[in-house]
């Protein structure tokens, strides 16, 4: 597991291990009398060697810093000695790969180029991030302005409460083969509505006639339902019918419904303070998209860019060079007869 954590750091752009050329040590020049002593270099102990090359602790720490927090915690928990061992073994693998010439293969070159490209793009983004971040910061006024412009996006859906009795038709999801014909179902629904006019109660009539298992034992009641949950014909009737009165039978894919609206509201737009955080998230996402597009557009002004199959690509793509018109084939020269020689310049 620890070795895996170390090896995964290769993808983060670990520098190649190239032995420094060995040169004879040169004597240091004698310091001038008036010069101050140079400060002692920061301690960077050698933790081992691979292939005759000394490995410094700073090199191990550089890789350690490139790892994600989970990998760092895993290695740190193993203790310094184990961490050093794993790092040196990793460098040993690098040296062996180089010795075997794996860094000279076309496949390696292609992967190295891809890694370098990713690192270069990452460096550019890292350099640009502070300025981009500054442009994406939003004030409370910015968030409020976004809310005012997009109020419809924050509207709380309307809800309704209604009672109904379902008389299923043949072939419908509720009726199947046992349902009534269209005419029979409509007639029965009309008779049920008439029983309400005679004083019938929902608890009794729903249990007796309704084939909706979700509501027949509750007096046909569906309470606090957000619009969009029921079939359109049912909800359209809920929006139009007079509250508290049993309406005319309504046809849907399930059959005929006898409906009484108990209550309804069309929804409302909440106060800004109630949805401020939600508005901030949406406004930030919109601003980030805008800033990114502007950032990319600015780069496109510096560097030619096209994308095949798009209008932008069509504009940027150079027009194909026109092929030169073929030269006409020379006419065959007529044989010079005695007559033709007389007509030619200088002919005799």
Residue 205 belongs to a domain with what CATH number? 3.10.50.40
Measured CA to CA, the distance from residue 218 to residue 225 in angstroms comes to: 15
Q: What angle do CA 76, 80, 82 make, to 5 degrees?
A: 90
Both 140 and 84 in one domain: the answer is: no
Short-list 111, 98, 13, CA closest to 62: 13
To which H or E segment does residue 302 belong? helix 276-302
Both 91 and 172 in one domain: the answer is: no
Both 278 and 213 in one domain: the answer is: no
Quote the pLDDT of residue 317. Answer: 53
To which H or E segment does residue 146 belong? helix 140-149
Both 249 and 280 in one domain: the answer is: no
117, β-bridge pairs: none
Over 90: is that where the pLDDT of 90 sits? Answer: yes
Pairing of strands 53-56, 159-168: unpaired
Measured CA to CA, the distance from residue 253 to residue 18 in angstroms comes to: 76
Phi, psi of 255 (to 5 degrees): 140, -145
Residue 42: partners with Cβ closer than 8 Å, 6 or more residues away:
none
Both 195 and 258 in one domain: the answer is: yes
Would the pTM count as exceeding 0.85? no
Q: Are 60 and 87 in contact (CB under 8 A)?
A: yes
Structural domain includes residue 280: yes
Final residue of a structural domain among 265, 283, 316:
265
Both 257 and 288 in one domain: the answer is: no
Q: 276-302 and 106-136 are packed helices; what angle lies between their axes, rounded to 10 degrees? A: 130
Most confident of 60-64, 183-187, 333-337: 183-187
Q: What is the DSSP letter of 105?
A: S
Q: Which whole number is the average pLDDT over 224-234?
A: 94
Short-list 101, 98, 75, 70, CA closest to 87: 75
Number of domains comprising the chain:
3
Final residue of a structural domain among 213, 236, 265:
265
Residue 45: partners with Cβ closer than 8 Å, 6 or more residues away:
56, 57
Measured CA to CA, the distance from residue 219 to residue 342 in angstroms comes to: 122
Both 148 and 277 in one domain: the answer is: yes
Over 60: is that where the pLDDT of 343 sits? Answer: no
Both 109 and 236 in one domain: the answer is: no
Q: What is the DSSP letter of 175?
A: T
Structural domain includes residue 296: yes
Final residue of a structural domain among 250, 265, 280:
265
Structural domain includes residue 328: no
Both 59 and 137 in one domain: the answer is: no
Q: Are 146 and 277 in contact (CB under 8 A)?
A: no
Over 90: is that where the pLDDT of 249 sits? Answer: yes
Report in angstroms the alpha-carbon separations of 198 from 192, 193, 205, 242, 289: 10, 9, 12, 19, 63
Structural domain includes residue 69: yes
- Would you tell me how many other CB atoms lie within 10 Å of the CB of residue 212? 20
Over 90: is that where the pLDDT of 36 sits? Answer: no
Q: Quick one: the chain helix, strand, coil %, rounded to 5?
A: 50, 15, 35
Quote the pLDDT of residue 116. Answer: 96
Q: Are 214 and 206 in contact (CB under 8 A)?
A: no
Q: What is the DSSP letter of 34?
A: T
Structural domain includes residue 334: no
Both 89 and 238 in one domain: the answer is: no
Measured CA to CA, the distance from residue 18 to residue 52 in angstroms comes to: 11
**Domain coverage including residue 227:** 157-265
Most confident of 3-7, 25-29, 120-124, 321-325: 120-124
Structural domain includes residue 248: yes
Over 90: is that where the pLDDT of 49 sits? Answer: yes
- Would you tell me how many other CB atoms lie within 10 Å of the CB of residue 39? 6
Q: Give the gyration radius of the chain's Cα atoms.
A: 42
Quote the pLDDT of residue 24. Answer: 34
Both 108 and 7 in one domain: the answer is: yes
Over 60: is that where the pLDDT of 104 sits? Answer: yes
Both 240 and 276 in one domain: the answer is: no
Structural domain includes residue 119: no
Short-list 171, 201, 188, 12, CA closest to 90: 12
Q: Could you tell me the end-to-end alpha-carbon distance of the chain, in angstroms, rounded to an integer?
A: 104
Measured CA to CA, the distance from residue 142 to residue 137 in angstroms comes to: 9
> Per-residue confidence at 80, pLDDT binned at 50, 70, 90?
confident
Q: Which whole number is the average pLDDT over 109-134?
A: 96
Structural domain includes residue 19: no
């Amino acid at each position: 597991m620890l070795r895996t954590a170390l090896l995964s750091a290769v993808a983060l752009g670990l520098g190649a291990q190239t032995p420094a050329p060995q040169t004879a040590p040169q004597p240091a020049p004698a310091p001038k009398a008036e010069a101050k002593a140079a400060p002692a270099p920061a301690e960077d102990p050698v933790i081992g060697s691979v292939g005759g090359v000394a490995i410094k602790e700073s090199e191990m720490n550089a890789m350690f810093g490139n790892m994600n927090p989970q990998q760092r915690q895993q290695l740190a928990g193993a203790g310094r000695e184990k961490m050093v061992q794993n790092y040196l073994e990793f460098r040993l693998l690098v040296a062996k790969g180089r010795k075997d010439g794996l860094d000279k293969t076309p496949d390696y070159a292609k992967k190295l180029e891809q890694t370098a490209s990713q690192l270069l793009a990452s460096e550019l983004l890292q350099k640009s991030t502070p300025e981009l971040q500054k442009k994406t910061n939003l004030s409370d006024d910015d968030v409020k302005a976004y809310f005012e412009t997009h109020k419809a996006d924050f509207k709380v859906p309307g809800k309704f409460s209604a009672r109904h009795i379902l008389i299923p038709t043949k072939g419908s999801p509720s009726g199947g083969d046992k349902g009534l014909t269209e005419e029979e179902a409509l007639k029965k629904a009309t008779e049920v509505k008439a029983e309400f006019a005679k004083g019938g109660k929902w608890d009794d009539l729903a249990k007796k006639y309704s084939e909706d298992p979700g509501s027949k034992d509750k007096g046909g009641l569906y309470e606090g339902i957000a619009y969009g949950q029921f079939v359109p014909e049912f909800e359209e009737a809920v929006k139009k019918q007079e509250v508290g009165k049993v309406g005319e039978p309504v046809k849907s894919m399930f059959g005929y419904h006898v409906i009484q609206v108990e209550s309804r509201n069309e929804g409302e737009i909440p106060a800004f303070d109630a949805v401020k955080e939600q508005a901030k998230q949406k406004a930030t996402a919109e601003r980030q998209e805008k800033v990114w597009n502007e950032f990319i557009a600015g780069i496109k002004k510096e560097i030619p860019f096209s994308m095949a199959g798009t209008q932008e690509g069509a504009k940027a793509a150079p027009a194909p060079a026109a092929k030169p018109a073929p030269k006409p084939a020379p006419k065959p020269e007529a044989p010079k007869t005695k007559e033709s020689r007389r007509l030619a310049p200088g002919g005799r």
